[in-house]
Amino acid sequence: MATNLLESIHSPADLRRLPAAQLKGLADELRECVLQNVSKTGGHLSSNLGTVELTIALHYVFNTPDDRLVWDVGHQTYPHKILTGRRERMPTLRQLGGMSGFPRRDESEYDTFGTAHSSTSISAALGMALAARQKGEDRKAIAVIGDGAMTAGMAFEALNNAGVERDARLLVVLNDNDMSISPPVGALNRYLAQLMSGNFYAAAKSVGKTVLGPVPPLFELAKRIEQGAKGMVVPATLFEKFGFNYIGPIDGHDLESLIPTLENIRELMARQSGPQFLHVVTKKGQGYKLAEADPVAYHGPGKFDPAIGLVPPAQPPKQTFTQVFGQWLCDMAAQDKRLVGITPAMREGSGMVEFHRRFPDRYYDVGIAEQHAVTFAAGLACEGLKPVVAIYSTFLQRAYDQLIHDVAIQKLPMVLALDRAGVVGADGATHAGNYDIAYLRCIPHVSVACPADERECRQLLSTAFAQDHPVAVRYPRGAGAGVAPLADLDALPFGKAEVRRQGQRLAILAFGTLLYPALQAAERLGATVVNMRWAKPLDLDMLRDVASRHEALVTVEEGVVMGGAGSAVAEALAAEGRVMPLLQLGLPDEFIEHGDPARLLSLAGLDAAGIEAAIRTRFGELAALAAPVLKAVG
């Protein structure tokens, strides 16, 4: 497809110079550009195909970047990036040193707010609108919220605040595609569906066609004023009760409706007519039939041929930690009827599809509402059920207060299955699970398990489920060392470590999957290796024994060094008055950018070569004198 129009667009100012008649052609080119680039790099596809026309219309009508445009969630912004001068960088999307898959303030002045999770846009845009008012600046703020993000409490907190700011130049655009990452859930989704298909409005619209149809000029006039007049026949909406002027729903792929509607809203905002709410309906995967048919599969695909679509690999891929968790969840649920599974809108990502199919009455998707998920689980636990909350490490951060006040203080038993612990690769700093050990181990009554491989993951999940207090089991994205899980549900001893390699002088204490590169480094260093398994509680008996038999200790973890498992070891040694050299290896005190996970770990010095080099640098003499090869155990 020729890209003459798109190649002429280097900024939204160029877009605004185009006649409206050319925008449909531009939309076709933009959609093709997104498809071709994502097929080569991987990334978010369905959500971006669905926002092409909406992106064009917003930049065409509003004076960006002077008018602030906030996208929520951030994985629907590839068309926005292309139209704001970053088309030529699309081949670097989500690659190390390349362009982020989410809005970033340090990447472009058009990325007014970083939005990589969800439900923050209305709060941020309201802040921008009121800042403009306070500074006497005539600018507008637009929040585009979609993909289930309206299910989060924070969005409604912001609506509640914004509704009383009658002179705020704020527009909230609800990009309603009837789809979050997982299928939509909850009463809000039902409400929106009823709003779009209400019989009263449908009947009124039908009558209008019957009466005005024979008179084409009048019918055309009715079409033009339809959205504005709809308030006469549709009862007041929830959003109007919040104090917004509600407009919609309108077709988010129809530029002939979108642009005049946005122009009218722009004039209302100029007259300070209070906060505006535009409800647009879009389709995920729009324009690419395969993504339209299966938007979940094409939500975040890897590389693929657009002409063919996603093809199963020739050889079955290695089992992932997520799959290990999903199988354990089903097996344990079959054995213990008290088990209930909870996810905050991440059924597929957390491996709960089969559990949902087999145990629908014990499966709860609460929407993008992590705080509610944890306190909801606490309520279930109060009544004797055994909740398992499947939640990404980075998203549990949102429920930190609930974890302390509603779970830990009451010592309620539950399993927190923390997927995506450690570096996550292409999604970058916003999705990295680098902090869970540090932010969990300081909470009383909370334990933290760090399985080294797939087999231990299943076993430690069983251990966690058997406890009478909250236990987090952290595991990374993707596959591990390839150690096949056992079929049974046997647990490992609570809070106990194991020696995996016996050496001398130096001992490496490994937490989690970095056990395996630590073992490789130890072969060259002649060091002892301990698979610690638990960041909290530490196996103090093992620590005392290892410390007494070695001259120096090294801790290794795929988490931040500050406050992490290595810090726990240092605290334990200090508490016993034991002074000995200790090297703590882990992630540095900086946000880890997007890129291949193995490469990111290598850059952080957490592959076998990096671990060996760090030890030799710190303990050169001990490493040189250690036996080069000693027999492994375990």
Per-residue pLDDT of 215-237, as tens digits, reads 445 445 444 444 444 444 444 57
The one catalytic residue among 169, 266, 347, 398: 398
Higher pLDDT, 315 or 262: 262
Highest mean pLDDT out of 102-106, 316-320, 407-411: 407-411
Cβ–Cβ < 8 Å for 280, 175: yes
Report H helices in 101-152: 121-135
Residues 596-624, mean pLDDT to the nearest whole number: 91
At residue 206, the pLDDT reads 41
pLDDT band at 88 (very low <50, low <70, confident <90, very high): very high
370 is catalytic: yes
pLDDT band at 193 (very low <50, low <70, confident <90, very high): low
Cβ–Cβ < 8 Å for 36, 76: no
At residue 316, the pLDDT reads 76
Instruction: Please give the single-letter amino acid code of residue 138.
Output: D
The one catalytic residue among 370, 456, 558, 612: 370
Task: Report pTM.
Answer: 0.85
φ and ψ at residue 623, rounded to 5 degrees: -65, -35
How far apart, in whole angstroms, are the C-alpha atoms of residue 456 and residue 462? 10
Q: Can you read off the two tokens belonging to residue 62?
A: 């509003």
Q: How many residues does the chain have?
A: 634
The label of the residue with tokens 């939309």 reads 27
What DSSP element (H or E) covers 560?
Answer: strand 550-560
Per-residue pLDDT of 291-328, as tens digits, reads 999 988 898 898 999 999 999 887 778 899 999 999 99
Higher pLDDT, 407 or 424: 407
How far apart, in whole angstroms, are the C-alpha atoms of residue 225 and residue 233? 13
Residues 17-30, mean pLDDT to the nearest whole number: 96
- Helix, coil or strand: residue 228: helix
Is residue 629 pLDDT above 50, yes or no? no
At residue 225, the pLDDT reads 47
φ and ψ at residue 560, rounded to 5 degrees: -65, 145
At residue 190, the pLDDT reads 61
Q: Would you tell me how many other CB atoms lie within 10 Å of the CB of residue 482?
A: 11
590-to-252, 434, 562, 586 alpha-carbon distances in Å: 39, 10, 11, 11
The one catalytic residue among 86, 266, 284, 347: 284
Highest mean pLDDT out of 118-122, 213-217, 502-506: 502-506
Across all residues in the chain, what is the average pLDDT? 89
Cβ–Cβ < 8 Å for 145, 121: yes
Q: Can you read off the two tokens belonging to residue 148?
A: 């289930």
How far apart, in whole angstroms, are the C-alpha atoms of residue 629 and residue 522? 8
Q: Can you read off the two tokens belonging to residue 483?
A: 């150690």
Least confident of 1-5, 54-58, 621-625: 1-5
Is residue 425 pLDDT above 90, yes or no? no
Least confident of 98-107, 142-151, 359-368, 461-470: 142-151
φ and ψ at residue 92, rounded to 5 degrees: -95, 5
Per-residue pLDDT of 471-503, as tens digits, reads 999 999 999 999 999 999 999 999 999 999 999
DSSP-assigned states of every residue in 561-583: STTSHHHHHHHHHHHTT----EE
32 is catalytic: no
At residue 17, the pLDDT reads 96
Q: Can you read off the two tokens belonging to residue 520?
A: 């490789």
How far apart, in whole angstroms, are the C-alpha atoms of residue 243 and residue 241? 5
Say which DSSP state 92 is in: G
Per-residue pLDDT of 272-291, as tens digits, reads 888 999 999 999 899 999 99
How far apart, in whole angstroms, are the C-alpha atoms of residue 123 and residue 293? 34
104 is catalytic: no
